[in-house]
Structure 1
Amino acid sequence: MNPRLLGFALVLCALFLVVPALAQVDYPEDLKGVVAQYPGSQVEMAMKTPQGSHVVLTTSDPPQKAYAYYKEALTKAGWETEMEMTHKEGQQGHWKKGDKMTHVVVTKDEDKTQIVLLVGTN
Structure 2
Amino acid sequence: MQRRLFAFMLVLGCVLAAISASAQVDYPNDIKSAVTQYPGSQVEMAMKTPQGSQVVLSSTDPSPKVYAYYKQALSQSGWETQMEMNHAEGIQGHWRKGDKVFHVVVTKDEEKTQIVLILGTGQ
Q: What TM-score do you get using the length of structure 2 for normalisation? A: 0.83
Per-residue CA deviations over 1:51-75 (Å, capped at 9, x if unaligned) read: 0000000000000000000000000
Per-residue CA deviations over 1:12-44 (Å, capped at 9, x if unaligned) read: 8xx97x655412201011111000000000000
Count of matched residue positions in the alignment of Structure 1 and Structure 2: 109
- SS of aligned partner of 1:33: helix
Structure 2 unaligned residues grouped into runs of 5+ = 1-13
> For 2:111 and 2:103, how far apart are their aligned partners in 1?
23
Q: Which residue of the partner structure matches residue 22 of structure 2?
A: 22
Matched, 1:52 2:52: yes
> Residue 93 of structure 1 aligns to which amino acid in structure 2?
G
> Residue 38 of structure 1 aligns to which amino acid in structure 2?
Y
> Where in structure 2 are the equivalents of 1:21-40 lying within 5 Å?
21-40=21-40
> Where in structure 2 are the equivalents of 1:1-122 lying within 5 Å?
21-122=21-122
RMSD: 1.7
> For 2:106 and 2:20, how far apart are their aligned partners in 1?
24
> For 1:79 and 1:29, how far apart are their aligned partners in 2?
17
- Percent of paired sites with the same residue: 69
> For 2:114 and 2:24, how far apart are their aligned partners in 1?
16
Per-residue CA deviations over 1:57-95 (Å, capped at 9, x if unaligned) read: 000000000000000000000000000000011100000
> For 1:59 and 1:100, how far apart are their aligned partners in 2?
26
Q: What TM-score do you get using the length of structure 1 for normalisation? A: 0.84
